Amino acid sequence: MRSVRTWWGEKFLEVLEQCMDIGRLKRGRAYSGANRILEFSVKGHQVSAKVRGNVNHYFGIHKEPRYSVSVSLKQFSAEDWEKITLDMTHNAAILSQLLLNEMPSNIEQTFSSRDLRLLPSRSSDVISKCSCPDYESPCKHVAGVYYKLASMLDRDPFFVFQLRGMQFDKLHHVLAESDLGHALINQMKTHDHKPEYHSNRYPSPNRNREKHPDLQSFWRGVKPLPKFDDTWNEPVIPAILIKKGGDYPGFWEHRKPLVEVMEPIYEQIVKQNRNSI
Q: Is residue 214 part of a domain?
A: no
Length of the chain: 277
Instruction: Examine the pLDDT at 201 and tell me if it is beyond 70.
Output: no
The last residue of a domain, from among 157, 185, 209: 157
**198: CB partners within 8 A, 6+ apart:** none
Q: Does 189 share its domain with 53?
A: no
Q: Does 84 share its domain with 110?
A: yes
The mean of the pLDDT values for the chain is 79
- In this structure, the number of other CB atoms found within 10 A of the CB of residue 61 comes to 14
Pairing of strands 37-43, 46-52: antiparallel
- What separation, in Å, do the N-terminal and C-terminal C-alpha atoms of the chain show? 52
Domain count for the chain, please give it.
2
What is the pTM (predicted TM-score) of this model? 0.65
| Domain enclosing residue 4, as ranges | 1-76+119-157
Q: Does 36 share its domain with 53?
A: yes
Phi, psi at 211, each rounded to 5° = -70, 145
Q: Does 169 share its domain with 145?
A: no
Q: Is residue 227 part of a domain?
A: no
Q: Does 96 share its domain with 178?
A: yes
Q: Does 13 share its domain with 54?
A: yes
pLDDT tier, 225 (very low <50, low <70, confident <90, very high otherwise)? low
Q: Is residue 9 part of a domain?
A: yes
Q: Read off the pLDDT of each residue in 18-38 and give the average, rounded to a whole number.
A: 84
Most confident range, picked from 8-22, 71-85, 86-100, 135-149: 71-85
Among 198-202, 235-239, 273-277, which stretch is predicted with the lowest mean pLDDT? 198-202
Q: Does 6 share its domain with 143?
A: yes
User: How buried is residue 254: exposed, middle or buried, by Cβ count under 10 Å (0-12/13-18/19+)?
Assistant: exposed
Q: Does 36 share its domain with 171?
A: no
Q: Does 64 share its domain with 24?
A: yes
Q: Does 83 share its domain with 3?
A: no
Q: Does 38 share its domain with 130?
A: yes
pLDDT for 182: 82
